[in-house]
Amino acid sequence: MHLTLRIWRQQSAPVPGRFITYQVQDVTPDMSFLEMLDALNEDLLSREEPPVAFEHDCREGICGSCGFLINGVAHGGQRGTTVCQLSMRFFKEGDSLTLEPWRARAFPVIRDLIVNRSAFDRILQAGGFISAPTGSAPDANAILVPKEAADTAFDAAACIGCGACVAACPNAAAMLFTSAKITHLNSLPQGQPQRDQRTLSMVVAMANEGFGSCTNHGECEAVCPKEIPLEFIGKMNRDLMRAVWRRHREPLVIPGIVQHPLHEDAGTEEGRS
Ligand code: SF4
Ligand code: FES
């Protein structure tokens, strides 16, 4: 099979990029998409041209490092499939494919098809953890987890942090990712002590990274390779309302942000305005 690839080439974030067209020959249906790019890179290297930079690690849909737009669709448009799991049998002789990196201000291009997704790491650092006493190994059944909570947490934990949801959203919102991470821990008994603080901290971190807001397009759910449902965004919003409401009773400390319980402002001019 012969393919024409139009690939975004960009040396680094401050350097302007452009599309360059390549011809790839001898692509077989049993190749994966990344193996097809490996073949292109071998050809480029044999001609002493710089290979196309793309990120990958597990190549089996687990790590979340691969991912770019293929003809404008994140991960190429096969439901529940990452780029590394995408098979060349879905393409046909003579196809023209345009490959470009995720487009979002919060994900600056590192090189070619690779973007910097460390904004996701900072959202996780803000609250994607639980605090538990360490010591000897606890009894596995010391904290009972209801089946429904375990199922919800398991579904949410499937998010691999690939960033496709951000790339597909017209607002470059990170709400599907953030809601999956919040729902994972907020569903479990072990996540309850920090539930409110976790929700507020992660939502604030998301806003600080420059992601947009959700306007219910649903594009994120459509491209998510782990089929994370929009329902988790609803859960996150409910948890956010709960956390804001409970601040009436308990002040919350979010690093870098000075917060006062709403009732403490009530008697001041500021509180009444
Ligand atoms: S929610 Fe889906 S698309 Fe978004 S980062 Fe997680 S796995 Fe990727
Ligand atoms: S390389 Fe790990 S998910 Fe694609």
Domain extent for 131:
117-272
Identify whether the C-beta of residue 101 lies closer than 8 Å to the C-beta of residue 113. yes
151-180: average pLDDT? 98
Query: Above 80 in pLDDT, residue 59?
Result: yes
Indicate the DSSP class of residue 99.
E
Does the CB atom of residue 161 touch ligand 1 within 6 A?
yes
Q: 6 has which bridge partners?
A: 21, 98
Is residue 165 domain-shared with residue 242, that is, in the same domain?
yes
Distinct helix (H) and strand (E) counts, the chain: 10, 7
Is residue 100 domain-shared with residue 222, that is, in the same domain?
no
Does the CB atom of residue 180 touch ligand 1 within 6 A?
yes
pLDDT band, very low/low/confident/very high, at 34 (cuts 50, 70, 90): very high
Sequence letter at residue 244? V
Q: What's the rounded Cα separation, in Å, for the pair 214 and 72?
A: 20
95-119: average pLDDT? 97
**Pocket of ligand 2, candidates 32, 37, 58: which has the most ligand atoms within 8 Å of its Cβ, to mutate?**
58
Report the number of distinct structural domains present in the chain: 2
What does the pLDDT read at residue 247? Answer: 76
Distance 253 CA to ligand 2 centre (A): 36
Q: What's the rounded Cα separation, in Å, for the pair 173 and 224?
A: 13
Is residue 142 domain-shared with residue 226, that is, in the same domain?
yes
Is residue 107 domain-shared with residue 179, that is, in the same domain?
no
Query: Above 90 in pLDDT, residue 270?
Result: no
Distance 189 CA to ligand 1 centre (A): 24
Is residue 27 domain-shared with residue 101, that is, in the same domain?
yes
Distance 156 CA to ligand 1 centre (A): 10
For the chain, percent helix, then strand, then coil, each to nearest 5? 40, 10, 50
What does the pLDDT read at residue 249? Answer: 64
Dump pLDDT digits (tens) for 183-201: 999 999 999 999 999 999 9
Does the CB atom of residue 162 touch ligand 1 within 6 A?
yes
> Counting ligands in written order, which one lies closest to the CA of residue 84?
2
124-150: average pLDDT? 88
Distance 6 CA to ligand 2 centre (A): 22
Does the CB atom of residue 99 touch ligand 1 within 6 A?
no
Lowest-pLDDT choice from 135-139, 171-175, 178-182, 187-191: 135-139
Q: What's the rounded Cα separation, in Å, for the pair 22 and 40?
A: 8
Take atom 1 of ligand 1 and give the residue whose Cα is closest: 177
Indicate the DSSP class of residue 62.
S
CATH code where residue 19 lies: 3.10.20.30
Is residue 83 domain-shared with residue 123, that is, in the same domain?
no
Query: Above 80 in pLDDT, residue 254?
Result: no
Q: Is 166 helix (H, G, I), strand (E, B) or coil?
A: helix
Q: What's the rounded Cα separation, in Å, for the pair 39 and 62?
A: 23
6-31: average pLDDT? 96
Dump pLDDT digits (tens) for 197-241: 999 999 999 999 999 999 999 999 999 999 999 999 999 999 999
What does the pLDDT read at residue 134? Answer: 75
Whole-number mean pLDDT of the chain? Answer: 91
Dump pLDDT digits (tens) for 68-100: 999 999 999 999 999 999 999 999 999 999 999
CATH code where residue 141 lies: 1.10.1060.10
Distance 248 CA to ligand 1 centre (A): 33
What does the pLDDT read at residue 271? Answer: 37
Is residue 174 domain-shared with residue 255, that is, in the same domain?
yes
Domain ends where: 84, 111, 138?
Answer: 111
Indicate the DSSP class of residue 84.
G
Distance 168 CA to ligand 1 centre (A): 10
Beta-strand relationship, 114-115 and 69-70: unpaired
pLDDT band, very low/low/confident/very high, at 115 (cuts 50, 70, 90): very high
Q: Is 5 helix (H, G, I), strand (E, B) or coil?
A: strand
**Pocket of ligand 2, candidates 65, 102, 113, 224: which has the most ligand atoms within 8 Å of its Cβ, to mutate?**
65
**Pocket of ligand 2, candidates 66, 68, 70: which has the most ligand atoms within 8 Å of its Cβ, to mutate?**
66
Ligand 2 atom nearest 56 alpha carbon: 1
Which one has a higher pLDDT value, 140 or 143?
143
Dump pLDDT digits (tens) for 128-139: 999 877 778 877
Domain ends where: 65, 89, 111?
Answer: 111
Is residue 165 domain-shared with residue 262, that is, in the same domain?
yes
Is residue 98 domain-shared with residue 127, that is, in the same domain?
no
Query: Above 80 in pLDDT, residue 8?
Result: yes
- CB atoms under 10 Å from CB of 63, counted, come to 16
What does the pLDDT read at residue 261? Answer: 53
Is residue 122 domain-shared with residue 169, that is, in the same domain?
yes
Percent share of the chain, pLDDT over 90: 84
Q: What is the pTM of this model?
A: 0.89
Is residue 151 domain-shared with residue 231, that is, in the same domain?
yes
Ligand 1 atom nearest 166 alpha carbon: 4
Q: If you compute the radius of gyration of the chain from its CA atoms, what whole number of angstroms results?
A: 22
What does the pLDDT read at residue 131? Answer: 85
Is residue 164 domain-shared with residue 106, that is, in the same domain?
no
Q: What's the rounded Cα separation, in Å, for the pair 68 and 8?
A: 10
Domain ends where: 86, 111, 136?
Answer: 111
**Pocket of ligand 1, candidates 162, 219, 232: which has the most ligand atoms within 8 Å of its Cβ, to mutate?**
162
